[in-house]
Amino acid sequence: MYNPSAISSEIRSLVHSWEPRLNALPQEIYTQRHNNQDRNIKQILGHLVDSASNNTHRIVHLQYQPSPLIFPNYATFGNNDRWIAIQNYYGEDWNTLIGIWKYSMLHLCHVIEHVNLEKLKNQWTAGPDEVITLEEMIIDFPVHMKLHLDEIEELIQGPDGK
């Protein structure tokens, strides 16, 4: 069942548990270790900023635009890597990036908590043969967030798991 308070609470909990961990990381860990997509921790965190931003825009649009909404899917065809490169998350100040990540997530929580429940079945056309409801998109966000935080965890632990 759709529960915006629980979803927001989960996102906030992740932010509050991860923020001090991210702040404590040595530069060599967040810049030099890369995942299988060749992203370092700064770039993964930047991708999460982009995810929060894009999802905030989708949530807003899905509440007043005709459904199904045709809204660009920034992740299609590797465009999310273009977003990461164009915004130069690799060169962003680490403390600034953590702050942007934290506050974009907290703002997304605020937006989720104020969604018009009558609009939850409005649809977004995410790609060919891919339609997602506003409700599904919101429910999926913490799953997506945890997927990338797990990637960061793996990079923190390093190849030998330490």
**Spatial separation of the C-alpha atoms in residues 43 and 52, rounded to whole Å:** 14
33 occurs within a structural domain: no
- Which 8-state DSSP code applies to residue 134? H
What are the two backbone dihedrals, phi and then psi, of residue 132, each rounded to the nearest 5 degrees? -125, 135
Using 50, 70 and 90 to split pLDDT, how confident is the model at 3? very high
Task: Determine the length of the chain.
Answer: 162
pTM of the complete model: 0.93
Average pLDDT over every residue of 135-140: 96
Task: State which residues form the domain around 55.
Answer: 4-23+38-157
pLDDT for the residue 77 = 65
Q: Residue 159: its pLDDT value, please?
A: 77
151 neighbors 95 (Cβ within 8 angstroms): no
Positive or negative CA dihedral for 132, 138, 140, 146? positive
**Beta bridge partners of residue 125, listed in sequence order:** 70, 131
CB 90 within 8 A of CB 40: yes
Query: What residues contact 4, with CB distance under 8 A and at least 6 apart?
Result: 112, 113, 115, 138
pLDDT tens digit sequence for 38-91: 999 999 999 999 999 999 999 999 999 999 988 777 776 678 888 999 999 999
DSSP 73-108: -TTGGGHHHHHHHHTTGGGS-HHHHHHHHHHHHHHH
Domain count for the chain: 1
Question: CA-based Rg of the chain, rounded to a whole angstrom?
Answer: 16
In a domain, residue 29? The reply is no
| Residue whose pair of structure tokens reads 């199904």 in the numeric block | 68
pLDDT on residue 161 = 64
Count CB atoms within 10 A of the CB of residue 27: 9
Q: What is the CATH number of the domain that holds 103?
A: 1.20.120.450
pLDDT the model gives residue 162: 61
